[in-house]
Homo-oligomer: A and B are copies of this chain.
C-alpha cells in the first residue's frame, strides 16, 4: 500500500536541506567559538571558500539558484532548546559545564550572517564577512553545502539500481578498511569527515559501521549533531583560524611570531586537561616547537596536519624527550588526508611510543573512488576548504609544513616566511 500522505508530501518538497542544525559542525568550531566570543568577538573577519581541485569547475556543475537556496536555509537555523540544554548538560572530554551559560544564551540567538557569491574561472567565489564570532560557523556549513550539491548532481544521473550499486560499493570499501583496522587492533580512530562527507546520512552510516566494527577502538566523531544523536564522544580541539586571525591583526612582526603561542594562552584560560592539544603547523611545526615556551610541553599533545606524519611524529617525540617529558604520556593526533594504509603504518611505527589518535576525514566519510557503477569519477572527493582570508582588514596567511599549500597574498606570504623561516618544510601533493 502506498502512503498517500507521504507521497503527496514528497512531491511538494521545495528543498531537501543539506544543513539541518547549527550543530551539524565540527566540535572544535564550538570550542573555538566560545574562546573567540570571550576574547575577540567583534574583530571583522572574512572566510573564503576555495576549491583546490581546479579541474572540477563547480560553477558549471552546481546551479547558483540551488546554492543560494541551501545557504539561505542555513541562515534560517538557530540553536534549538534541546541542543542548548544538551551542550550545557553533557560531559565533554570528561569535563562538565565546558560551555558557559552566558555563552549558550548568546549562541541561542545566533544566526549566520549574509554571504557573497561571485563566479570566476568556473568556480564559486563564496565569501562570508562579519564579526568573527558571528561568521566563523560558516566554514563547515559552506563546505558541506557545496560538496553535497556537487554530489547530488552526479547522483541525479544514476538510476535507483545504479545508486544502490554505488552505495553498496562504497560501503563494502569502507567495511573492508574497518576490517583491516579491527584485525590490527588499532585504537583512537575518530570521524573527522564532516566537512567533506558524501552527505550527512552517509557520514552517519559510516559512523555506525565504525562503532559496530571497531568497538572501543572507535573514539567518536567531530560532528556535534551526530555525537548528540548517538550519545558519542564529540572530538576536537582547535584549528588554524585562531593563529591566522590573531597574526593578521597583530601590529608588529614580533606580535605575528607570538600569535601562535598567544592562542594557547587564551585556550588554557578557557579549557584545561585533555582539551589542551595544540596545532603547531600554521607557520611551520619546526619553528613552532623550537621557539615554544616550556609550558607548551605540559599540554596533553599535538595535532599533526600538513607535515609528513612520520616526520611529524618523530619530531614531536624528540621534542618532548628533549624537554624532559615522557612522550608515552603525550597524544599525537594525526589528521591530514588519512586513509587506512596511513593509519596502519603510523600505528605500527608509533604504538607504545606515544598515545595515538587518528582523525579520519574525507577517505572515511567520502571515499567513492572506483565505486561509480559505470566507472565515472564525478563522485571522487575534491579538496574544498574555507579559510580566514582577512581579519580587521588585513590579509590572513597560512604557511603550513607543506611548501605547496601556503594561503594568502604573495607579499604577505613572503613577509611571514621572513618572520618564521622555512625550517623543516616539505613538499606534499594534496589529494584530499
Contacts and interface: CB of A to CB of B under 8 A. Distances in A.
Interface stretch (A86-94, A158-166, A301-309, A361-369): A158-166
A373 interface: yes
B161 A209 contact: yes
A151 to B, nearest CB: 18
A63 B213 CA distance: 30
A20 interface: no
A373 B212 contact: yes
Instruction: Give the size category of A's interface with B.
Output: 20 to 34
A95 interface: no
A277 to B, nearest CB: 31
A175 B172 CA distance: 12
Contact of A172 (B3, B161, B169, B212): B169
Contact of A209 (B165, B172, B175, B205): B165
Interface in A146-189: 159, 161-162, 164-165, 167-169, 171-172, 175
Contact of A164 (B162, B169, B171): B171
B175 A169 contact: yes
Given A3-B6, A5-B1, A6-B3, A168 B175 contact: yes
A216 B191 CA distance: 43
Contacts of A164: 171, 205
Contacts of A159: 212
Contacts of A3: 3, 5-6
A161 B208 contact: yes
Contacts of A175: 165, 168-169, 373
Please list the 9 inter-chain residue pairs (A to B) with the smallest Cβ-Cβ separation, ordered nearest first: A168-B171, A168-B168, A172-B172, A3-B3, A169-B172, A168-B172, A165-B175, A161-B208, A161-B212
Given A1-B5, A162-B212, A169-B171, 14 more contacts: A159-B212, A161-B205, A161-B208, A161-B209, A161-B212, A164-B171, A165-B171, A165-B172, A165-B175, A165-B209, A168-B172, A169-B172, A169-B175, A172-B172
5 contacts: A1-B5, A168-B172, A169-B171, A169-B172, A169-B175
